[in-house]
Amino acid sequence: MPPEDPASLPKPNLPKSELPAHSGSRSWWQSQRENVLTLLLALLLAFGIRTFVAEARWIPSDSMLPTLEEGDRLVVEKVSYRFSSPKRGDIIVFNPPAKLNFDGAYIKRVIGLPGDRMRIVDGKIFINGIPLQEDYIYAPPNYSCPGDRCPGVRVQGSDFVVPPDSYFVMGDNRNDSQDSHVWGFLPEENIIGNTIFRFWPPNRLHFFATQKYPELLSEAQVLRNPTPQDGGS
């Protein structure tokens, strides 16, 4: 008599309590594994991009008028400053000095670079003796630096020097901005990134190009090619 086909044998009718407890979870994981792994990968990529490449920020105040308005949404990139230093005119996001006890980030414009000799007087900023030409500010500063209304700079004389690895940053709305003239120089290690693009509101989309200061370039050319003095060679 030929053996019976196992497939034709009657299957035992086990109570539900005796079925393998892992059968349901295994089938769910097999069907959803690809979706779960895709979600985890997306989260890891999003975290990595936000931490090391770029992130979105929004403007909570009017300190950068007229360049940035309250509610603007920006893309801040974090890569370039790993290979080069901030440039004059960059709009940077940074953690404020610890003494301010502020839980959040600031956004200001880089004005003074390490080693710059500066002063602010009569509504003008002087960098190494040259008045800075700025067409992006809301109004000229109505204070002098050094001076009583510039507590961030406590030196004697008419000029001050930006320390190594530090920057003098200011809001474009000069007379309504908590910036370096109030709390002092910004350590380079506090900088988060450089503002490159405004993506909201849609009618004000804008890429932020590197700011040019021809008057300071002219000064650098003069330093490289000094004019011979009378009687000199």
pLDDT greater at residue 77 or residue 6: 77
Task: Give the CATH number for residue 152.
Answer: 2.10.109.10
What positions carry a catalytic annotation?
A: 63, 108
Q: Indicate if the pLDDT at residue 7 is higher than 50.
A: no
**Residue 109: exposure state from Cβ atoms within 10 A (0-12, 13-18, ≥19):** buried
Pair of tokens at residue 205: 């989309």
Q: What is the pLDDT of residues 38-92, one digit of tens each?
A: 565 555 555 555 555 669 999 999 999 999 999 999 999 999 999 999 999 999 9
Inside any domain, residue 72: yes
Instruction: Answer whether residue 197 is part of any domain.
Output: yes
Residue 113 has pLDDT above 80, yes or no: yes
Classify residue 51: in a domain, yes or no: no
pLDDT value for 217 = 74
- Domain assignment present for residue 179? The answer is yes
Give the domain range for residue 156.
57-213
- Within 8 A by CB and 6+ apart from 215, the residues are 130, 131, 132, 133
CB 92 within 8 A of CB 195: yes
* Number of folded domains that form the chain: 1
Rounded mean pLDDT, 22-26: 56
Q: 27 lies in a domain?
A: no
Is 14 a domain residue? no
Whether the bond between 3 and the residue before it is cis, its omega within 30 degrees of 0, is no
Residue 94 lies in a domain: yes
The answer to the question of residue 159 being in a domain is: yes
